[in-house]
Amino acid sequence: MTSQVNRTQRAEAGAVALIALVAAVMLYPGWWWVVLVAFLVFDLSMLGYVRSTAAGAATYNMVHNYAFPAVAGLAALTMEPVSPATSTAAGVIACAWAFHVGVDRALGYGLKLPDSFRNTHLGRIGREGSSGGHS
């Protein structure tokens, strides 16, 4: 991937992370702190690497994408009239999840390829990689 495309994707992800944090603060003022406290919870998806690199990549990628935070956000919107408490929980989870994925991507931690934890869709991470990053 060209460095310009990589920078663009990382900037987009940083914007998503910022929007998710601002949304949490504005929509859930009593709960915004959950976004920060829950940050590392999503990295439990790396436990798949205990089994194999392919399993680890699958579990990591399942959690480190924007699809599930979007579903949680949709649930928050649709549940508001039925159950405000459930709506709030889903909304906070959506913000926390999108924030986590956005920060990871902004730092260069992309979706994992099945051959190695260090090979991602944003390039190779680590000392000899150009992306930087940990998760």
Q: Is 102 exposed, middle or buried (0-12, 13-18, 19+ CB in 10 A)?
A: buried
Q: Look at residue 134 in the predicted model and tell me its pLDDT.
A: 47
Grouping H, G, I as helix, E, B as strand and the rest as coil, residue 118 is strand
Cα separation, 95 vs 29, in Å, equals 12
Q: Look at residue 122 in the predicted model and tell me its pLDDT.
A: 85
> Domain extents for the chain?
3-124
Q: Look at residue 128 in the predicted model and tell me its pLDDT.
A: 60
Q: How many CA atoms lie within 13 A of 91 on its CB side?
A: 23
Q: Look at residue 1 in the predicted model and tell me its pLDDT.
A: 52
Tens-binned pLDDT, residue by residue, of the chain (135 aa): 578 988 999 999 999 999 999 999 999 999 999 999 999 999 999 999 999 999 999 999 999 999 999 999 999 999 999 999 999 999 999 999 999 999 999 999 989 999 999 999 888 887 665 555 544
pTM of the model: 0.89
Quickly list DSSP for 31-69. Answer: TTHHHHHTGGGGGGGGGGGGT-HHHHHHHHHHHSSSHHH
Cα separation, 57 vs 52, in Å, equals 8
Q: Look at residue 57 in the predicted model and tell me its pLDDT.
A: 96
Residue 58 φ/ψ region, left for φ over 0, alpha for ψ in the -120 to 50 degree band, beta for the rest? alpha
Quickly list DSSP for 7-39. Answer: HHHHHHHHHHHHHHHHHHHHH-TTTTHHHHHTG
Does residue 92 contact residue 105 with C-beta atoms inside 8 Å? no
Residue written as token pair 């260069």 = 108
